[in-house]
Amino acid sequence: MTDQIETDDNNTWWKAPRFLISAVLVALLIVLGIVLWLWPDGEEPTQAAPAPATTAEPVSGEESVCGLDATGGTTLTKAPEDVEWTALGAIYAPSSEKHGPGTVDESTGVRSCYSHTPEGALLATTNILTSGNDPQLLLDTIKAQAVDGPGRDVAIGQVQQRLSSGDTATVPLEVGGFRLLSYTADKASVEVVVAADDGNEDIYMTTGVDLVWTEGDWHVSFQENGDPGPVSGQVSDLSGYIEWGPHDG
């Protein structure tokens, strides 16, 4: 099981001294708007489930909007195979011919259309999170890939505020691992860990995203306060996660 995510109000990850004195991680807080726009200051994150989903019954893969017809169960105990990683600024985003994204918008760069499988949910989550390296892409992605509701409006407002403030810096980041928290025919919850090097060691930050299957694709289901899922914060290492990233396939 992974180390506990820090939740002490006096020792939350963005207030820790080593983050405040590190230029890399100050920039990281800006770039990873996903952790900040999804976790308002002063609120504690909800602890993630301790283990991946283990439901045994298979789920049929309803066809995606772009025709991806992959099928699968409700567990994900290893990283998807045949994944390619594409640079989006200072971070790499994954893609799979079988699981998506099946569509990349030529005008906005939004990556969408994923298979109705746990693998598709993972690819959707990771691509949504990696879009946070570019605030305009993040904004366009939320508009295209989020379920209508108050939480979506809050998230859009937070990213628009970031854009208007001029916070567009990027730093090298890398997807490091994941775990599937839950999965059913129409809902999924996926946690993805992103790593950054502060010059002395790797720093790991995790974000969970709740998804719903609607209109032939996975969409983020924001909570009313703009949070995307059950957990955000810092973990000390990748224990308890399935390692996955540009160097792992």
What whole-number distance in Å separates Cα of residue 18 and Cα of residue 199? 11
| DSSP notation for 79-101 | PPSS-EEEEETTEEEEEBTTTB-
* Highest mean pLDDT, choosing among 38-42, 180-184, 202-206: 180-184
What whole-number distance in Å separates Cα of residue 209 and Cα of residue 203? 20
Q: Are 134 and 87 in contact (CB under 8 A)?
A: no
Top-confidence residue, 120 or 163: 120
pLDDT at 232 over 90: no
pLDDT at 172 over 70: yes
Q: Which amino acid is at 162?
A: R
pLDDT tens across 123-147, in order? 999 999 999 888 899 999 999 999 9
Residue-averaged pLDDT of the chain: 78
What whole-number distance in Å separates Cα of residue 88 and Cα of residue 129? 11
pLDDT tens across 45-104, in order? 434 444 444 333 434 446 789 999 888 889 999 999 999 999 988 889 999 999 999 999
What whole-number distance in Å separates Cα of residue 5 and Cα of residue 15? 14
Domain spans, the chain: 59-243
Top-confidence residue, 119 or 71: 119
Which tokens sit at 98?
């079988």
Which tokens sit at 8?
């002490």
Query: Can you state the angle between helices 135-145 and 150-165, rounded to 10 degrees?
Result: 170
Per DSSP bridges, beta strands 232-235 and 84-88 are unpaired
* Sequence-ordered list of residues with C-beta below 8 angstroms from that of 69, at least 6 positions apart, any chain: 61, 63, 115
Q: Which stretches does DSSP call E strand in the chain?
A: 84-88, 91-95, 103-104, 111-112, 174-183, 187-197, 202-214, 217-220, 232-235, 242-243
* Per-residue DSSP letter, 59: B
pLDDT level of residue 122 (50, 70, 90 thresholds): very high
What whole-number distance in Å separates Cα of residue 35 and Cα of residue 9? 16
pLDDT at 11 over 70: no
Q: How far is CA 227 from the centre of its chain?
A: 12
Asked whether the bond before 230 is cis by omega within 30 degrees of 0, the reply is no
pLDDT level of residue 170 (50, 70, 90 thresholds): low
What's the pTM value of the predicted model, to 2 decimals? 0.79
pLDDT value at residue 249? 55
pLDDT level of residue 234 (50, 70, 90 thresholds): confident
pLDDT value at residue 14? 22
Helix-strand-coil split of the chain, %, nearest 5: 25, 25, 50
pLDDT value at residue 171? 63
